[in-house]
Amino acid sequence: MRRDQVSRILLAVFLLVYVLGGVAYIIYGWETGTGLVGTLMEYQMRFFGAASMRFTVLGVMLVGFLPVVGLVAHLDRKIKASLVTPAAPMSMPAKWALVLGISIFVGLIPSAIYLWLERADAADQQRTVHQLNFRQPGPLAADIKFAEISGYRVLKQQYTFGTKSSSGESRSTTTYVPLVDAEWTPDKPVVYFYTGTILRMPNPLPVRLEAKPMPVFARSKFEQAGIKVAAEHYLLTDAHISGGKVASKIDTYRYVPVLGVILGFFTLFMGGIVIVSHAKAAKKAAMAASFAR
């Protein structure tokens, strides 16, 4: 295989990985309301009162996708222009081998993610479930991830964010509930925000602590309501704890490997369509050239 063909294959693989990573980034940003996606959503909500998934994706694509796609296309043209002799077309077996390799790569990505989730789930089951009493504040353990919290006070200043389908039907709703101790005053920043689904929160409340940033628009709403959000804060989600141990939830992701198989076959199918269509076009061109003679 010629050097220019290898370079073009590497560019195609890079573009594929970049696009898949970009899609994952958009999905993660939409679910968490952070990063570039969260910023675009916050501006839409500030000026229009709602955020559109379509406009958000379009904005991210304009900022992050199109320049890279343009760069790859420019590099591809430079590779073609640098050729002293025209590049020989890839043989049919080489094309099928390339498509098969890409299909296997795409299909293995969800399986690799599932293996990582499985290992993380097994590690979570071995973690210590800490007891966090808001009446007795103290430094958190460095490895804290799960806890049963008690003695907390729920603030009335809460923020609810919901998503709707294009038809206006509600898809999901997340409420950010500030939890503080009895001595809390408005001049103190809030560290803990409950985002679970339990309406009548028990005492103690089993939670999973995540030291990840709050969505941009949610933080903005709290600041407008006079609630300071601590620079280092925790989002608390529901946790299933039984007998002092974290219950496994790997069964939730049992269809992830199946998704990999579907994506792999879909990539192979689409690649096959491209190969066959190119082969038919080349055959027609050859026949037209022979008739012209």
Please report, for the chain, the start and end positions of each structural domain, with discontinuous segments joined by +.
1-88, 95-126+255-293, 129-250
Instruction: Write the pLDDT tens digit of every residue in 227-255.
Output: 999 988 999 999 888 888 898 888 888 89
199 or 182: which carries more pLDDT confidence? 182
Q: How far apart are CA 204 and CA 106, in angstroms?
A: 44
Identify whether 202 is preceded by a cis peptide bond (ω within 30 of 0): no
Q: What is the mean pLDDT of residues 192-219?
A: 86
pLDDT of residue 202: 83
pLDDT of residue 115: 93
Overall pTM surpassing 0.85 (yes/no): no
Whether the Cβ atoms of residue 179 and residue 154 lie closer than 8 Å to each other: yes
Q: How far apart are CA 148 and CA 128, in angstroms?
A: 11
Q: What is the mean pLDDT of residues 186-205?
A: 88
State yes or no: pLDDT of 38 exceeds 80: no
Q: How far apart are CA 4 and CA 9, in angstroms?
A: 9
Which structure tokens are listed for 75? Answer: 């590099």
Which structure tokens are listed for 277? Answer: 């269509």
Q: How far apart are CA 204 and CA 199, in angstroms?
A: 14
Whether the Cβ atoms of residue 250 and residue 86 lie closer than 8 Å to each other: no
DSSP state string for 35-58: HHHHHHHHHHHHHHSS--HHHHHH
pLDDT of residue 137: 79
Q: Angle at CA 216, nearest 5°, toward 215 and 218?
A: 65
Lowest mean pLDDT among 12-21, 110-119, 153-162, 166-175: 166-175
Tokens 């990573």 belong to which residue?
21
Instruction: Write the pLDDT tens digit of every residue in 112-151.
Output: 989 999 999 999 999 999 999 998 877 888 888 999 999 9
Q: Could you tell me whether strands 129-133 and 146-150 are parallel, antiparallel, or unpaired per DSSP bridges?
A: parallel
Which structure tokens are listed for 237? Answer: 């989600």
Q: How far apart are CA 251 and CA 19, in angstroms?
A: 28
State yes or no: pLDDT of 180 exceeds 80: yes
CA distances from 66 to 59, 91, 166, 246, 277 (A): 10, 31, 26, 44, 27
- Name the range with the highest mean pLDDT among 37-46, 52-61, 159-168, 236-245: 236-245
Q: Could you tell me whether strands 205-210 and 229-238 are parallel, antiparallel, or unpaired per DSSP bridges?
A: antiparallel
| Helix or strand (DSSP H, E) at 12 | helix 3-32
Q: What are the residues whose beta carbons fall under 8 Å from the beta carbon of 292, sequence distance 6 or more?
A: none
Q: How confident is the model at residue 172 (pLDDT cuts 50, 70, 90)?
A: low
State yes or no: pLDDT of 30 exceeds 60: yes
